């Protein structure tokens, strides 16, 4: 069990991982945790004889004396040393998978085959530990590999209510940014509460800071994994694939195409990514890395549990080698990204980042009329709706039932499918904006996301992704556009990129606002990224001559 969704009222979300009968670690979905598990228990309670006849099956054991922290450190140090010494971590992953019951023996055998070095010597890394165990582990691992490490808030404390262990919130990164600048560090790492998410933060030459979520790290690390870490498909004679979530950057698809790697997209959520990876592995594929924009990332070699420290260690090794080869003292991350963009054209994207505008009260009334009002009392109870009714006033926005959130997402996506069909056109100051492709995904009859792609004068310019939170009455949106560059000189065209960015984001945002799905333009409503949203809407309105929606 792990839990990073902690509020003033306590833990509001658990992750549950079980070992199945094949000995594999499997993550349970929200539906499996909240409904299917409850149904199983209730059925057993209602049929005592059935419960008595059930046979106990022991799949594993609990070892209280295992030094899990130490074993985790050994694994990450080993895989980093292996790559530094031109050994294959694909083969290490295969060895671990083949001896799941005796992983320590595998580690010991491989450790005997390498020399202990300091491959990260020369790097300075700042860690925002935020009083979590992850910061302590990362410090010990990176220091053992030779890096100079500066740790903020290293004391492990019991946390409750509001906390700063969430790198997805920009306000939680202010201290680490100041420390990176003060120390002239190469980059920083910021962890979440339960250690399954980590953001890499770096300083740019213009004085600004940017973050690298795991989906962007796929773009950075995939060539390295293929060329240096043993994941060359011709050498291992297996197909290579990568999986990202729908909110992940399309740059992953572009670099995969150039590296002859297959790309797969799932809904946002670790359960969906892991299910797709398992399906691919059952079909004989190897998935060296996969991740989502929220901060979760996985490596083939470290297995089905997120290991952001391992990903950070490989990134650090790539950085160290690039920095040495190019003889760079500062801003090496920015130069590394520029080098990748130059070598693999088309992978440079301008991204909005995730933003979470809330549901409009008007939308809740629609949800009640369309989905809830006609349900019998028994159905309402089984769906967890109880006596929920928006006529009770705007306070119903506070902690509404999860099904209300799901219904709101479904209603908006159905409306968008109707109003943004492929071929829909908008007249703009710079030409015709056209919807060229629409993907929508549904489960159990309810839509979960919509992915709308747009073109300007026949040229593809970007995509808008719309979905919603599973727990809170907020939408989860992002949009991105390929950075425009001259084909011959590769000189960036900042003005065209800004125009495309405003059109791709603004045409959908204006729709959500004008239809009262979300109070985007309400000056009293605040959410992370709102300034960018308002700028995008205002610029788009100036560009569009005729909007068929209005």
Q: What confidence category does residue 409 fall into, taking pLDDT thresholds of 50, 70 and 90?
A: very high
Q: In what helix (H) or strand (E) does residue 241 lie, and over which residues does it extend?
A: strand 241-245
Question: Is pLDDT at 38 greater than 90 in this prediction?
Answer: no
Give residue for tokens 């425009």: 484
Domain 216-306 has CATH 3.40.120.10: yes
Going by the DSSP 8-state scheme, the letter that residue 197 receives in this structure is B
Cβ pair 189, 132 in contact under 8 A: no
Structure tokens that stand for 407 in this block: 């219904």
Q: What is the mean pLDDT of residues 44-67?
A: 76
The CATH fold of domain 68-215+309-343 = Alpha-D-Glucose-1,6-Bisphosphate; Chain A, domain 3 (3.40.120)
What is the structure's pLDDT at 340?
A: 95
Question: Is pLDDT at 89 greater than 80 in this prediction?
Answer: yes
Q: What confidence category does residue 160 fall into, taking pLDDT thresholds of 50, 70 and 90?
A: low
Question: Is pLDDT at 449 greater than 60 in this prediction?
Answer: yes
Q: Please choose, from the candidates 195, 156, 165, 435, the residue with its C-alpha nearest in 3D space to the C-alpha of residue 310.
A: 195
Question: Is pLDDT at 517 greater than 90 in this prediction?
Answer: yes
If DSSP codes are grouped into helix, strand and coil, which group holds residue 325?
helix
- Between CA 27 and CA 305 the distance in angstroms is 9
Q: What is the mean pLDDT of residues 164-180?
A: 88
- Between CA 361 and CA 364 the distance in angstroms is 5
Q: What is the mean pLDDT of residues 294-310?
A: 90
Question: Is pLDDT at 8 greater than 60 in this prediction?
Answer: no
- Between CA 389 and CA 373 the distance in angstroms is 9
Q: What confidence category does residue 37 fall into, taking pLDDT thresholds of 50, 70 and 90?
A: confident
What is the structure's pLDDT at 263?
A: 97
**Could you report the per-residue pLDDT of 196-209, keeping only the tens digit for each?**
888 999 999 999 99
Question: Is pLDDT at 159 greater than 70 in this prediction?
Answer: no
- Looking at 50-54, 509-513, 536-540, which range is the least confident one? 50-54
Q: What confidence category does residue 323 fall into, taking pLDDT thresholds of 50, 70 and 90?
A: very high
Q: What confidence category does residue 28 fall into, taking pLDDT thresholds of 50, 70 and 90?
A: confident
What is the structure's pLDDT at 44?
A: 85
Q: What is the mean pLDDT of residues 506-512?
A: 96
Structure tokens that stand for 229 in this block: 């870490």
Question: Is pLDDT at 9 greater than 60 in this prediction?
Answer: no
Q: What is the mean pLDDT of residues 64-93?
A: 91
Rg (CA), the chain: 24
What stretch(es) of the chain map to CATH 3.40.120.10? 68-215+309-343, 216-306
Percentage of the chain lying above the pLDDT 70 cut: 94
What is the structure's pLDDT at 10?
A: 58
Q: What is the mean pLDDT of residues 365-391?
A: 91
Question: Is pLDDT at 66 greater than 90 in this prediction?
Answer: no
Cβ pair 218, 154 in contact under 8 A: no
Question: Is pLDDT at 347 greater than 80 in this prediction?
Answer: yes
What is the structure's pLDDT at 492?
A: 81
Structure tokens that stand for 512 in this block: 């959500």
Rounded mean pLDDT of the chain?
90
Residues 6+ apart with CB under 8 A from 514: 549, 550
- Looking at 49-63, 139-153, 315-329, which range is the least confident one? 49-63
């Amino acid at each position: 069990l792990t839990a990073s969704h902690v509020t003033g009222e306590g833990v509001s979300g658990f992750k549950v991982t079980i070992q199945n009968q094949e000995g594999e670690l499997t993550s349970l979905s929200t539906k499996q945790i909240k409904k299917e598990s409850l149904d199983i228990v209730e059925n057993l309670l209602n049929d005592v004889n059935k419960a008595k006849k059930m046979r106990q099956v022991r799949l594993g054991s609990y070892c209280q004396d295992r030094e899990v922290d130490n074993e985790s450190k050994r694994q990450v140090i080993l895989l980093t040393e292996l790559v530094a010494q031109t050994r294959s971590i694909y083969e290490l992953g295969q060895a671990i998978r083949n001896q799941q019951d005796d992983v320590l023996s595998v580690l010991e055998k491989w450790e005997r085959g390498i020399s202990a070095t300091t491959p990260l010597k020369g790097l300075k890394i700042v860690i925002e530990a935020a009083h979590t165990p992850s910061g302590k582990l990362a410090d010990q691992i990176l220091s053992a590999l030779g890096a100079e490490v500066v740790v903020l808030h290293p004391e492990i404390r019991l946390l409750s209510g509001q906390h700063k262990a969430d790198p997805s919130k920009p306000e939680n990164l202010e201290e680490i940014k100041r420390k990176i600048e003060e120390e002239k560090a190469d980059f920083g790492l910021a962890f979440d509460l339960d250690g399954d998410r980590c953001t890499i933060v770096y300083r740019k030459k213009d004085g600004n800071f940017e973050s690298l979520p795991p989906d962007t790290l796929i773009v950075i690390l995939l060539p390295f994994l293929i060329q240096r870490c043993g994941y060359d498909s011709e050498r291992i004679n297996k197909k290579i694939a990568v999986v990202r979530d729908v909110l992940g950057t399309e740059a992953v698809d572009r670099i995969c195409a150039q590296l002859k790697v297959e790309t797969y997209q799932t809904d946002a959520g670790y359960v969906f990514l892991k299910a797709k990876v398992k399906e691919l592995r059952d079909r004989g594929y190897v998935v060296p890395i996969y991740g989502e924009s929220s901060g979760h990332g996985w490596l083939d070699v470290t297995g089905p549990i997120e290991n952001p420290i391992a990903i950070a260690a490989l990134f650090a090794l790539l950085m160290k080698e690039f920095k040495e080869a190019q003889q760079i003292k500062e801003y090496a991350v920015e130069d590394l990204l520029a080098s990748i963009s130059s070598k693999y054209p088309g992978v440079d994207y301008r991204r909005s980042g995730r933003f979470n505008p809330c549901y409009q009260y008007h939308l809740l009334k629609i949800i009640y009329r369309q989905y809830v009002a006609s349900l019998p009392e028994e159905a309402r109870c089984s769906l967890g709706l109880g006596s929920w009714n928006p006529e009770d006033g705007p306070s119903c926005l506070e902690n509404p039932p999860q099904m209300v959130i799901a219904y709101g997402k479904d209603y908006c996506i159905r409306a968008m499918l109707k109003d943004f069909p492929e071929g829909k056109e908008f007249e703009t100051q710079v030409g015709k904006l056209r919807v060229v492709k629409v993907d929508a995904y549904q489960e159990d009859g309810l839509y979960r996301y919509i992915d709308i792609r747009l073109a300007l004068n026949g040229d593809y310019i970007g995509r808008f992704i719309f979905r919603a939170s599973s727990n809170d009455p907020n939408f989860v949106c992002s949009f991105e556009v390929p950075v425009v560059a001259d084909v011959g000189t590769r000189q960036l065209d900042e003005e065209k990129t800004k125009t495309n960015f405003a059109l791709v984001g603004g045409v959908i945002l204006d729709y959500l606002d004008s239809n009262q799905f979300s109070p985007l333009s309400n000056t009293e409503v605040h959410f992370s990224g709102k300034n960018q949203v308002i700028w995008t809407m205002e610029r788009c309105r100036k560009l569009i001559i005729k909007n068929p929606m209005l």
